[in-house]
């Protein structure tokens, strides 16, 4: 019988030492094509908004009004400015306060009043952010991933569907089972090899017996960029899960699929996407009975949560 007190303590430690410190994925950059497009997510219990400002620059900020620390935006959408639904303080898309009558009466300086900015970078079309001002940039580790999957480059892949949902599964079971019990797309089989670095812990699997040079069009890579980005990548399409815990025994998921350049008119694309949905169910089933955590994930957890 699980001990709820221990589970709550474990989740608090994971929230503080993993999701509050590491780089996390908010989804694909092409989901924010125009100024004012935004998405929201929870990161270590903090509401976060990622948006494209009026100059086209991508920004990540705490999604909390400066007045009473209440959430500003919900879900996904497009706005010309950010207006708080509670007392109508409004902010420019770069986060600067632009209007608050009660604030002006208090003599506060608008120019120095801005939503709390967060670190954000874009890698091969992925929006990566962290709450941690001291987190090392994962550039080197991600360059290693890029070499691993070369010449496949996810930059040009375009998202064709995405969805948010919640599974009643411990996030660790899902992250730990993805490589071990991964469900590659048709035509690929799945033993794995593991790549790991000190900056961002990641693992990659490739089809057994298929050498990287040559015959690349039959490859499927399973990439787990811990703690929360799980990617199944093929030269034709990719699909992914961005996960964050939602309590001790549930996980919030952002799921999406994207097609490679030149494949939007592929007659097989719709069938491929339909199969992705089937594979998504297989991943959920695997996570319900995960067995021992994947070796790389086990080491990642041990590095963040020492005994
Ligand atoms: S909480 Fe936002 S204006 Fe009051």
Predicted local confidence at residue 80, as pLDDT: 98
Q: Is the CB of 102 under 6 A from ligand 1?
A: no
Mark 184-216 as b/e (b = at least 16 C-beta within 10 Å): bbeebebebeebbeebbbbbbbbbeeeeeeeee
Domain ranges, ordered by start, for the chain:
24-134, 139-307
Q: Is the CB of 89 under 6 A from ligand 1?
A: yes
- Between the CA of 64 and the centroid of ligand 1 the distance, in Å, is 9
- Between the CA of 49 and the centroid of ligand 1 the distance, in Å, is 16
**Ligand 1 atom, smallest distance to 66 CA:** 2
For 116-140, the pLDDT digits (tens) are 999 999 999 999 999 999 999 888 7
- Between the CA of 83 and the centroid of ligand 1 the distance, in Å, is 9
Predicted local confidence at residue 128, as pLDDT: 95
Per-residue pLDDT averaged across 60-78, rounded?
96
Q: Is the CB of 166 under 6 A from ligand 1?
A: no
Least confidently predicted of 36-40, 68-72, 160-164, 292-296: 292-296
Per-residue confidence band for 290, with pLDDT thresholds at 50, 70 and 90? low
Stretch (H or E) spanning 6: helix 4-14
Q: Is the CB of 13 under 6 A from ligand 1?
A: no
The DSSP line for 45-84 is TEEEEEEE-TTS-EEEEE-B-TTT--B---SEEE-SSEE-
CATH of 24-134, one of 2.40.30.10, 1.20.120.1730, 3.40.1160.10, 2.102.10.10: 2.102.10.10
Q: Does domain 139-307 have CATH number 3.30.9.10?
A: no
One fold for 24-134 and 139-307: no
- Prediction pTM value: 0.87
Q: Does pLDDT of 58 surpass 60?
A: yes
């Amino acid at each position: 019988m699980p001990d709820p007190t221990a589970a709550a303590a474990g989740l608090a430690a994971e929230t503080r030492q993993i999701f509050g410190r590491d780089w996390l994925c908010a989804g694909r950059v092409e989901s924010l094509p125009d100024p004012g497009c935004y998405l929201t997510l929870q990161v270590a219990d903090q509401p976060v908004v990622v948006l494209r400002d009026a100059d086209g620059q991508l920004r990540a900020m705490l999604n909390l009004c400066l007045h009473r620390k209440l959430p500003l935006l919900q879900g996904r959408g497009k706005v010309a400015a950010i207006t708080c639904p509670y007392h109508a303080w409004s902010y420019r898309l770069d986060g600067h306060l632009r209007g608050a009558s009660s604030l002006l009466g208090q003599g506060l300086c608008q120019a120095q009043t801005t939503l709390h900015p967060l670190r954000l970078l874009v890698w091969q079309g992925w929006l990566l952010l962290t709450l941690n001002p001291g987190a090392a940039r994962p550039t080197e580790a991600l360059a290693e991933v890029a070499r691993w999957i070369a010449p496949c480059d996810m930059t040009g892949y375009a998202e064709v569907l995405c969805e948010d949902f919640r599974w009643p599964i411990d996030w660790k079971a899902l992250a730990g089972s993805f490589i071990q019990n991964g469900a590659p797309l048709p035509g690929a089989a799945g033993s794995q090899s593991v790549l790991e670095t000190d900056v961002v812990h990641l693992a990659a699997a490739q089809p057994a017996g298929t050498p990287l040079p040559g015959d690349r069009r039959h490859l499927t890579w399973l990439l787990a960029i811990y703690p929360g980005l799980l990617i199944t990548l093929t030269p034709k399409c990719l699909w992914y899960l961005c996960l964050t815990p939602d309590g001790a025994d549930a996980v919030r998921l952002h799921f999406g699929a994207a097609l490679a350049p030149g494949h939007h008119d592929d007659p097989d694309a719709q069938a491929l996407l339909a199969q992705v949905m089937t594979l998504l169910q297989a991943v959920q089933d695997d996570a319900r009975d995960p067995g021992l955590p994947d070796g790389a994930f086990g080491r990642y957890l041990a590095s963040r949560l020492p005994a």
